[in-house]
Every structure is written in C-alpha cells, then in structure tokens.
Amino acid sequence: MNTEIKIAKDCIDECASRILRGELVVFPTETVYGLGADAYNECAVNKIFVAKGRPQDNPLIVHISDIDEVKDIAVDIPDSFYTLAEKFMPGPLTVILKKSDKIPYCVTAGGETVGVRMPDNVYARELIRKSHPLAAPSANRSKHISPTTAAHVYEDLKGEVPVIMDGGDCRVGIESTVLDLTADVPTILRPGAVTADMLLDIVGKVSVNGKVIKVAKAPGMKYTHYAPVVETVCATSIDSAVAEYDKAASQNKRPVIVARDIYRDKVGERNQISLGITAQDYTHNIYNALHIAEKEYGYIIIEELHGAGLEASVMNRVEKAAGGKRV
C-alpha cells in the first residue's frame, strides 16, 4: 500500500469517506497522532491491531467530536463525566465508562468498559463529525515511541495506512490522562497533562496510579512502551548524566544527553538534544528528541525531572522508555 502525507485541512472529506469505507486514517491530535478506524466497524478496527502489531488484549480509546456523542458510546454515564467534560473536553483527558452495545468488543479488548476522549484538534473533530467516532491508538508500531509529527508516523507505519493527515506537531506531546470512572474511586490509569490536582478539584477523590492493582486495569501499561530502539537510561541528576556519558563514550557507545537548556554549560562539548526550558517544553519535545536520538546515537541518557504534576506525568513515559534503568 502506498502511504501519502496530506495537509490535514485539505483532505478531511476524503478521509471521512475512507473511514466510512472501513479504511484506516492517521489524524493529528493535541497529544500524539492517532491511527483511526470507524469505532462501529469491527472489521476496520481489527486492521488497527494488524497495522500496529498490537496485542488484541489492549483496548482502544474512542474519539468523539461532540459531548452528546458519548451517549452512543457509553451507558450509565455518571454526572461527574459531564462536569469533567465541561472543564477538560476537548482536551488531553480520556474517561473510562461502561460501554454501549454499539461498540464492538474488539475495541474494548473484550471488556465492558470503553475509553472516551474528545481531542482538541479542529481537523480531528471535523473528520469525526463527517464520519463516525474513531477508535484510535497512538499511530506508532506497538511498543515504539509515540509520534508527535507526521514524519514520525511515516517512518513507523508507511505501507500500512493510505493517508496520514499532517496537522503539524502536537501541542502537548505525551498521551492523554486516562481516568477510570467505573472504579469505586475515580482512578488515574495513565498520568498526563490533566494532572491529579486538576482532577481533584472536580471529582473530590482520585486514586493515583501508584498501586499495582490500579495499573493492571489499563492493560496497555504492562508492556514496555514508548521505547527507543537503542539502549536508554534515565539520569537522576545532570552530574550523573555527564559521568554516565563519559563512561559510555570511553566504551565507544556513541552516547547523547537529552536534557533541558539550563544544563548546556555542564554538558559542554558532549552531544546534547535540547528539551527546551520549562516542563511544558520538556513534555512537548521529549518524543521528538527520542526519535532523533535513536537514529543518530547509540546510547540515550535522559535527564530526570523532579516534581509532581506534569513533571511526574512525563517521567512516567521516560521511565518506560528507559525500561526503569536509572544512573
């Protein structure tokens, strides 16, 4: 199959008809790019698992263009969903609800719950409005780094999908927060840019993704994820990053330090990929930095961020990229 990258705003009608014909389309969102299929079409949804090499036991998020559409996707919707939606939708929040009969079990990996999200990207929402709600995971090969540009998607999925809608780079840069509203206490299954503190304001009580029993409910979380193809470690301080770099360089491992600009002086002449200045910059840039690093270097050393909120969310991805390895 030939894969074409097209400017998002120019191909919405074409992509909407492709979706309704049961084809896959890659679309931009504010978090990462999504690999979409008609959420009501079982055969189309199955193509996602084949294209990504994704295990069938990992459920997909359903993307909607309007809050009212949630009634087609889910049943027994609690009031807290609507309160959350008012504040965070469209935006980087996925809410787990009880699934409706309209959603095939291949979307939910056989489960009775479904993830619902309204992306904050006009082209994505226009595409959904003109077709159907889209079941979509991140548009990368299973276990590889999530894509934040159309070029990242092309490298991973060329030949697997007819069209990639190019909407520029993704504003947030890491995947949405996943919040389970079917649990006794609303539970964060995956941290993201909508943080526990922000959610607490609305739902009063949140169980944070620290306890193993909660983590296991997002089946995708048990796989090594977001991983570059070369060895990657997380450095707890810039001094340990520099020491690790020098050791790796002496072993000809072709290392690179992925860190914020404040450490330019400490890193000196060593190879560095910049993550910008703020925690927002760090989050926005991290996946692109890893895409570049794995192509150009042999060993990736990532600066750890300390702190709660967005810092903790992005560290969740860095730890996965490093497979838990710290220096």
For the residues of 95-136, what is the DSSP string, one character each? EEEEEPTTS-HHHHTT-SEEEEE--S-HHHHHHHHHS--EEE
* Contact of residue 260 among Mg ion, ligand TXA, none (CB under 5-8 Å per partner type): none
Least Cα distance to 177 among 194, 198, 196, 200 occurs for: 194
Q: Which of 138, 148, 232, 288 binds Mg ion (CB under 5 A)?
A: 138
Q: Which is nearer to ligand TXA, 22 or 111 (CB)?
A: 111
CA–CA gap between residue 92 and residue 30 (Å, rounded): 7
Helix, strand and coil in the chain, % to nearest 5: 40, 20, 40
Q: Which of 29, 121, 148, 232 binds ligand TXA (CB under 6 A)?
A: 29
Cβ–Cβ under 8 Å, residues 313 and 177: yes
Our finding on whether 178 is near ligand TXA (CB under 6 A) is yes
Question: Residue 310 Cβ, how far from ligand TXA at the closest point, in Å?
Answer: 14
Our finding on whether 286 is near ligand TXA (CB under 6 A) is no
Using the contact rule CB under 6 A, the part of the chain among 15-23, 131-139, 147-155, 259-267 near ligand TXA is 131-139
Radius of gyration of the chain from its Cα atoms, rounded to whole angstroms:
20
User: Of residues 34-93, which lie at the interface with ligand TXA (CB under 6 A)?
Assistant: 34, 58-61
Our finding on whether 31 is near ligand TXA (CB under 6 A) is yes
CA triple 90-96-102, angle to 5 deg: 90
Q: Which residues contact 279 (CB under 8 A, 6 or more apart)?
A: 305, 307, 309, 310, 311, 314
Q: Which is nearer to Mg ion, 260 or 291 (CB)?
A: 291
- CA dihedral (216, 219, 221, 225) in degrees, to 10, reads 150
Handedness of CA 31, 37, 38, 39 (dihedral sign): negative
* Contact of residue 36 among ligand TXA, Mg ion, none (CB under 5-8 Å per partner type): none
Q: Which is nearer to Mg ion, 33 or 297 (CB)?
A: 33
Our finding on whether 218 is near ligand TXA (CB under 6 A) is yes
Q: Which is nearer to Mg ion, 29 or 138 (CB)?
A: 138
Token output for 42: 């079982």
Our finding on whether 137 is near ligand TXA (CB under 6 A) is yes
Using the contact rule CB under 6 A, the part of the chain among 79-87, 155-163, 173-181, 256-264 near ligand TXA is 173-181
* Contact of residue 230 among ligand TXA, Mg ion, none (CB under 5-8 Å per partner type): none
Token output for 239: 């001094």
Q: Which of 65, 108, 187, 207 binds ligand TXA (CB under 6 A)?
A: 108
CA–CA gap between residue 43 and residue 104 (Å, rounded): 10
Q: Which residue is nearest to Mg ion (CB)?
A: 138
CA distances from 62 to 83, 132, 167, 193 (A): 19, 10, 20, 19
Our finding on whether 148 is near Mg ion (CB under 5 A) is no
Q: Which residues contact 296 (CB under 8 A, 6 or more apart)?
A: 256
Our finding on whether 113 is near Mg ion (CB under 5 A) is no
Residue 65 has a CB neighbour count (10 Å cut-off) of 21
Cβ–Cβ under 8 Å, residues 282 and 260: yes
Q: Which is nearer to ligand TXA, 107 or 302 (CB)?
A: 107
The torsion angles phi and psi of 74, rounded to 5 degrees, stand at: -130, 160
* Contact of residue 29 among Mg ion, ligand TXA, none (CB under 5-8 Å per partner type): ligand TXA
Q: Which is nearer to Mg ion, 203 or 227 (CB)?
A: 227
By CB under 6 A, name the binding residues for ligand TXA: 29, 31-32, 34, 58-61, 94, 96, 108, 111, 113-115, 117, 119, 136-138, 175-176, 178, 189-190, 217-221
By CB under 5 A, name the binding residues for Mg ion: 138
